[in-house]
Structure 1
Amino acid sequence: MIKVNITLICLVLIKSTLANDGFSYDIDQSELESLVRPALREAFQQVGRAIHRTDKNWKNEDVWKTPLRLFQYFKQPPCQETADMAKAGDIYHYTFDILQNKLKNRFSRATVAELAKFSGCRVNSMSPKCPNTCLATLYRSHNGDCNHATNTYWGAANNPFVRWLPAKYENGFSTAIGWESDRLYNGHRLPLVREVSNDAMNTSNNQSGDSSYSHMLVVWGQYIDHDIDFTPQSLSTSTFQGLTNCANTCENKSPCYPIQVPANDQRIKTAKCLPFFRSAAVCGTGDTSALFHKLRPREQINAVTSFVDASTVYGSSDALSNVLRNLSTDEGLMRVNALYSDGSRAYLPFDPSKGCVQDPRDLSGNKINCFHAGDGRVSEHLTLSAIHTLWIREHNRIARALKVINPHWNGEILYQETRKIIGAYHQVVNWKEYVPKIIGPTGMAMMGSYTGYKTNENPSISNVFATAAFRFGHATISPMFRRLDESYNNHPTYPTILLHQAFFSPWRMIREGGIDPIMRGLIGKAAKLIVPSEMMHEELREKLFLLQNQVALDLASLNLQRGRDHGLPLYNDWREECGMSRADNFSQVAMEITDALLRSKLERLYKHPGYIDVWLAGLAEELLPGSRGGKLFTCMLSRQFKFLRNGDRFYYENTGVFTPQQVAALNRLSFARVICDTTGLTEVRRDVFFLSTYPTGFVSCNSIPSLDLMAW
């Protein structure tokens, strides 16, 4: 018998005096004992076995040779608290599935309380006790708690995404859109996501470049996305009932929600479906939610802090932050790589628990692991790893300078002050340089100027932003990974390669020239332009994480399936939310989706414009002037970035966070200066997000203002 663990993050949902709370019991206590406890034991066994099997597979070196495992790698919970929540949620919901037939929906509060108590379920975050100390007043917590005085969990890690519109699930509570293959929408079945990817999003690697912006705009978007949201998937890669590997089944059995391959798809020769895993649910939502104090559909976990706070550098938990710090000295430094260096500059440390793709030509046997950073997705692509590397170098540079200016500061103050500066630096780059370019004048007017901290604006990331709107950037990724020399020409030694060859490959950075050629490639080459006829090139649609001739993943299908998994409302609901009229036919969306050929494809697929998946609908719209989104995404992006800025008590321009002199020093900064201070580049654009051909528009690093640390 498995011992039920009640020491997990338990939150007793119902008052202990259940018999006196006025609730009418559907079953008596003896029946509760005879049914609930055995079901819980069975759920613990089945979920435990499935997770154990997955954990065992991770230890097999060969798993890093498959694209599926690489995809799973960066969807795993980032810390033990998140893993506990995900496991508790799986046990909770699977127990409910077991009991559903036995109890015939005769559930009482007592039943639910038992499930919650013994599965380790946490339906809502408990408001933390916020310390009233000098340090807590001056510096934000690593997990984001206590930013708001009363809603202390707003923006904190391991909390549900917020909803701007009610969730849309097929059974009203938890089953994903498309879960039931015969379900009709306006009299028609929704198209398979792979069918949509094939018919409406398919294009070659010959792409239109963005004439205005460099590829740095794309990678900063991905980096800052990882700073503010992360949705872990189920801990198991097998079905709970039968323990069938999700890669070997085309049935919808939690946590598996496979992507069906259409009969006319070339992939049907090798696979009838592509594996997909549902996102981990917040315990106590979904089918059981009606039994709580208010109706609550299935929600997903944001495992990192919502704030733009450089959690990518420092982590979203105290435990991870302590691992990443160099505590061997009292200088407030971050750990760096002990085995390799980029000339005189540091690399990120390796994560000893995470293997990565190895150089197939190397016979030395010296393994190069994935990098270790505040966000586990750091090694997903070399361009992302390069941005992470900049900030770890910048932290240590600033910490050493502050030690000279303030020799009386101990290591903790040096660390916290530097972390605070780096967090502010992220905000400067994001709101001053990046955001205006993606939301344009219309979005900037919607976001408005900063007028101070707003206690009524929730900075928590919304589900639709994380799952659809901010994924607009996937359509701006170049199919090529470019490395350039000192004159911003193609590097003679390290040539341009296809995008998929740079996934999970830190060895290419270590052994192929460091980060300088990568940074020049980001600054000196164009982003992909969002064009309705060129939505998703084959590097992402047919070769995502392609390794050793394995069946690769399809990013377009993954994004569409994830939106359905999360219960995102479809196009018409969001049109109305963003001030547009609901559409009854495709001629009524012609003002937004102006490409006639694309509209005809969407009509053939969806039959009705109101049921288009929201991520695709946003990409299909004509870009607003000066932006990289149409009406729908501009509405969502500007709203979220407004809440993130205004609802953050530690936003750098908020009165009292920094002194006026410090704010003035920070406002003179640019991302270009970070690059100059942390790499071997000597010439860059003042705004590295703008594109021009070298040497036009490039200036010496000596002419770019530095951070005046004397204000500290």
Structure 2
Amino acid sequence: MTLSDIQDNDQIQNKVRSQFCPTDIDCGSASKSPYRSIDGRCNNLVHPSWGAAITPQPRYLPAEYDDGISTPRNRAKNGSPLPSPRRISNNLFRAPGDCTETDHARTLMVMAWGQFIDHDLTHTPTMKGDGEVPITCCGENVQNRPQCFPISIPSDDPHFDDSCMEFVRSAPSPPGDGCQLGPQEQINQITSFIDGGSVYGSSKEKMEELKNTDTGQMRTSPGDLLPPAVDDTCESSAETDFCQNAGDLRVNEIPSLGGNHLLFVREHNRIVGELRKVQPKWSSLKLYQEARKIIGALLQQVTYGEFLPSILSKQDLENHKLKLRNSGFSNNYDSSRNPATKNAFNAAVFRFGHSLIPPNLAYLLYDFMSRVNSTTIESIFFNPHLLITEGGRRVSDLARFIVTSNSMKVDNQLEGAVRDHLFENAHGKGMDLGALNLQRGRDHGLPPYNAWRKWCGLTVATSFSNLPDITDEKKTVLADLYSGVDDIDLFAGGVAETPLDGAAVGPLFSCIIGNQFRDLKDGDRYWYENRGVEGFKQAQLREIRKVKLAKIVCTNLGVDPIQPDVFHVPSPSNNWQSCSQFPEIDFARWR
């Protein structure tokens, strides 16, 4: 069912509004609480649902659907069909020889952290059939379902024999704030804030499932690994393998992602132990909440202090006011700024990280030279074996590989593993991540590339020949694919741009990423630098500011020595040092 189906049905309108548009949210106790709610409600006391779980993804630009309401954008400005996303992928996203270029400065932690934080910010569920049964959109016996938006595969495709690639549309949601009927929106199933939701969950049920109520620590399994999931949500390579359980259900997608989940579960448990030493009378709930608050602060600090400087230029960090303070408190909280993860950021822009995916993951031994057990990416989707094998004794080897090995470049090229073999089944049928990204943008009604250039105040192209920030070679490819320059998909145009000096991404993605992270920072009442009951004492904040991701990794995953900046490869200016040389939090400040 889409919003076009419910325009004239008062009964269904009222039902949808009662589920997604609560009018009475009591924030009385939240206004004085030092801890954020698990579902994000009442972070903003004026707009209690902003940034909360199970709310619509707001937009920077109005939706563009073919019918103005919900039909995906599938027509060019001249009325002709838009090119198939698979055709675009074959021509724009395929790397020469299927070998993507290496980034000689950045490490795989850029990819791993980007995915981890992305999963802390947004999760868009897809539609399901009756009884929550997955929907099939390709095949002879499949009816033309409104939930489906399958991708057409060209007859001359170099890899796929089929003519159809599965694609189920994102679950619809009424518009936000007042829930007046209008163009279809999409749900964010989790909180938008950088709050550790991927560690703790975004609902009370998930929080209780993961928490040890006796100690205030997070539940773990033997080997100090993540706890097993109740449902089999992954593949296994050995009898001792198991599917991991975490605050976000995508934890098993790839071992580098699961490693960051494990990292912060271990750090939470370590912090609880340290707090118990200085506050032996605190209850287990108090210990849990204070550790959760510190973890949220560390996630924000690493993201803004280390990750964003690895992908944005210094100028963009300044322009969007993303730099952290060196001392004192921030006074930038703005209750009129909506922190919620925006639709375009989720459905297109932050997917730039897909070009960072390497062809393999491996173990790097203690000598920092020996790479063993190299495993292709396509064989470890939803398979946590590399992380959990041998009772977790190889965790440090995997982490060492991630913080030391070169990333791929941010560009328009995707590894064959994700372009031809994504989620490949036993029959050799896979999917194309690049094509899925383009189709998701059209599914969500994202305006095309040029409209976003205008929104950002950048030069807008009037023809393919004068596309700014894109090389002549890529202009030719885009001109061969699209009928007009105003038809280019946001993701396709964004990844085709030449990166700015000192940045990993081009001017358009820099603009949208900068705006989104400004919203997340200045629109969060519980931002860790803020003053007041929601924040830390000044002495505690000084301690938190000491910590770098390198210290968290070496302390909890056994990577010792390690370079100070784990987002960049070791070098004379970023040389390995002992874990004991890094400053750490003095928990006496919590007495």
Shift of the 284–577 alpha-carbon distance from structure 1 to 2, 3 Å rule, reads closer
Q: Check conservation: 2:44, 2:525, Cα contact below 8 A.
A: yes
Does residue 1:440 correspond to 2:313, yes or no?
Answer: yes
Distance in 2 separating the partners of 1:227 and 1:696: 28
Aligned counterparts, 1:524-603, within 5 A: 524-532=404-412, 535-589=413-467, 591-593=468-470, 595-603=471-479
Of 119-128 and 306-315, deviating more is: 119-128
1:267: how far off? 4.4
1:565: how far off? 0.2
Q: Check conservation: 1:238, 1:244, Cα contact below 8 A.
A: no
Greater per-residue helix proportion: 1
Corresponding residue for residue 665 of structure 1? 543
Corresponding residue for residue 236 of structure 1? 129
Q: Check conservation: 1:669, 1:706, Cα contact below 8 A.
A: yes
Correspondence for 2:394 among 496, 511, 514 = 514
Distance in 1 separating the partners of 2:82 and 2:143: 17
Corresponding residue for residue 505 of structure 2? 629
Aligned counterparts, 1:290-301, within 5 A: 294=180, 296-301=182-187
Q: Check conservation: 2:35, 2:293, Cα contact below 8 A.
A: yes
Corresponding residue for residue 646 of structure 1? 522
Distance in 2 separating the partners of 1:531 and 1:115: 45
Distance in 2 separating the partners of 1:639 and 1:686: 28
Corresponding residue for residue 332 of structure 2? 452
Does residue 1:147 correspond to 2:43, yes or no?
Answer: yes
Corresponding residue for residue 393 of structure 1? 266
Which amino acid in structure 1 is aligned with residue 469 of structure 2? E
Query: What do you get for the CA RMSD once the two structures are aligned?
Result: 2.4
Distance in 2 separating the partners of 1:547 and 1:575: 39
Q: Check conservation: 1:584, 1:608, Cα contact below 8 A.
A: no
Deviations 1:5-52 (A, max 9, x none): xxxxxxxxxxxxxxxxxxxxxxxxxxxxxxxxxxxxxxxxxxxxxxxx
Shift of the 607–490 alpha-carbon distance from structure 1 to 2, 3 Å rule, reads farther
Structure 1 residue matching 2:105: 3-state secondary structure: strand
Structure 2 residue matching 1:455: 3-state secondary structure: coil
Does residue 1:409 correspond to 2:282, yes or no?
Answer: yes
Q: Check conservation: 2:463, 2:485, Cα contact below 8 A.
A: yes
Deviations 1:317-374 (A, max 9, x none): 11110010012x2x2111101xx31xxxx00001021242121xx4xxx463321000
1:187: how far off? 4.9
Q: Structure 1-normalised TM-score? A: 0.77
How many residue pairs align between the two structures? 577
Larger Rg: 1
Corresponding residue for residue 27 of structure 2? 130
Distance in 2 separating the partners of 1:526 and 1:223: 18
Q: Check conservation: 2:3, 2:69, Cα contact below 8 A.
A: no
Which amino acid in structure 1 is aligned with residue 480 of structure 2? R
Correspondence for 2:107 among 214, 220, 227 = 214
Which amino acid in structure 1 is aligned with residue 94 of structure 2? N
Corresponding residue for residue 303 of structure 1? 189
Distance in 2 separating the partners of 1:628 and 1:500: 25
Shift of the 566–520 alpha-carbon distance from structure 1 to 2, 3 Å rule, reads same
Which amino acid in structure 2 is aligned with residue 638 of structure 1? G
Of 687-696 and 550-559, deviating more is: 687-696
Structure 1 residue matching 2:106: 3-state secondary structure: strand
Distance in 2 separating the partners of 1:233 and 1:542: 22
Corresponding residue for residue 256 of structure 1? 148
Q: Check conservation: 1:251, 1:257, Cα contact below 8 A.
A: no
Q: Check conservation: 1:121, 1:283, Cα contact below 8 A.
A: no
Which amino acid in structure 2 is aligned with residue 333 of structure 1? Q
Corresponding residue for residue 579 of structure 2? 701
Q: Check conservation: 2:52, 2:190, Cα contact below 8 A.
A: yes
Structure 2 residue matching 1:333: 3-state secondary structure: coil
Corresponding residue for residue 177 of structure 1? 73
Corresponding residue for residue 334 of structure 1? 218
Aligned counterparts, 1:40-439, within 5 A: 90=1, 96=6, 108=8, 112-117=9-14, 122-132=19-29, 137-178=33-74, 183-203=75-95, 204-236=97-129, 245-248=136-139, 252-267=144-159, 269=161, 271-283=162-174, 294=180, 296-327=182-213, 329=214, 331-337=215-221, 340-341=222-223, 346-359=224-237, 362=238, 366=239, 368-439=241-312
Corresponding residue for residue 327 of structure 2? none
Distance in 2 separating the partners of 1:133 and 1:454: 17
Q: Check conservation: 1:586, 1:599, Cα contact below 8 A.
A: yes
Deviations 1:50-101 (A, max 9, x none): xxxxxxxxxxxxxxxxxxxxxxxxxxxxxxxxxxxxxxxx4x75964xxxxx
Distance in 2 separating the partners of 1:645 and 1:481: 33
Q: Check conservation: 1:524, 1:694, Cα contact below 8 A.
A: no
1:251: how far off? 6.7
Deviations 1:486-525 (A, max 9, x none): 011233xx42121112211123322254311111111110
Distance in 2 separating the partners of 1:561 and 1:251: 20
Shift of the 643–696 alpha-carbon distance from structure 1 to 2, 3 Å rule, reads closer
Distance in 1 separating the partners of 2:542 and 2:163: 59
**Structure 2 unaligned regions, length at least 5:** 324-329
Correspondence for 2:493 among 603, 607, 617 = 617
1:306: how far off? 0.5
1:674: how far off? 0.6
Distance in 2 separating the partners of 1:597 and 1:167: 31
Distance in 1 separating the partners of 2:514 and 2:427: 41
1:207: how far off? 2.5
Q: Check conservation: 1:143, 1:156, Cα contact below 8 A.
A: yes
Which amino acid in structure 1 is aligned with residue 305 of structure 2? K
Deviations 1:269-289 (A, max 9, x none): 2x110101000001479xxx9
Percent identity reads 33
Q: Check conservation: 1:252, 1:258, Cα contact below 8 A.
A: no
Q: Check conservation: 1:440, 1:625, Cα contact below 8 A.
A: yes
Distance in 1 separating the partners of 2:139 and 2:262: 38
Shift of the 198–555 alpha-carbon distance from structure 1 to 2, 3 Å rule, reads same
Structure 2 residue matching 1:684: 3-state secondary structure: coil
Distance in 1 separating the partners of 2:521 and 2:501: 24
Deviations 1:373-420 (A, max 9, x none): 000000000010111101111111110111111011011100000000
Which amino acid in structure 2 is aligned with residue 541 of structure 1? R
Distance in 2 separating the partners of 1:332 and 1:358: 31
Distance in 1 separating the partners of 2:404 and 2:209: 35
